[in-house]
Amino acid sequence: MKKVAEGIYIGQANYSISGELDQVKCKLKIEEILLDAPNREEKIKGEWVFTFQLETVKRSSKAINQGTEKEGFGVTINKINKTPMSFIMDYTQQVPEAYRADWHYVITELVVKDDLGNVYEGQGNGGAWTYRNRDYKLE
Q: Are residues 41 and 98 in the same domain?
A: no
Same-domain pairing of 80 and 47: no
Distance CA 20, CA 50 (A): 23
Q: Based on the domain organization, do 73 and 34 belong to the same domain?
A: no
pLDDT confidence tier of residue 136, bands split at 50, 70 and 90: very low
User: Would residue 46 count as lying in a domain?
Assistant: yes
Domain coverage including residue 110: 60-130
Tally the residues of the chain. Answer: 139
Q: Are 79 and 90 in contact (CB under 8 A)?
A: yes
Q: Flag whether 135 is in a domain.
A: no
| Same domain membership, residue 80 and residue 50 | no
Are residues 126 and 64 both part of a single domain? yes
With cut-offs at 50, 70 and 90, classify the pLDDT of residue 127. Answer: very low
Comparing 7-16, 27-36, 44-53, the range with the smallest average pLDDT is 7-16
* Cβ contact 48:11 at 8 Å: no
In a domain, 138, yes or no: no
Note the pTM of the prediction, 2 decimals. Answer: 0.57
Compute the distance between CA of residue 65 and CA of residue 91 in angstroms, rounded to an integer: 9
Task: Give the C-alpha separation, 95 to 73, whole Å.
Answer: 5
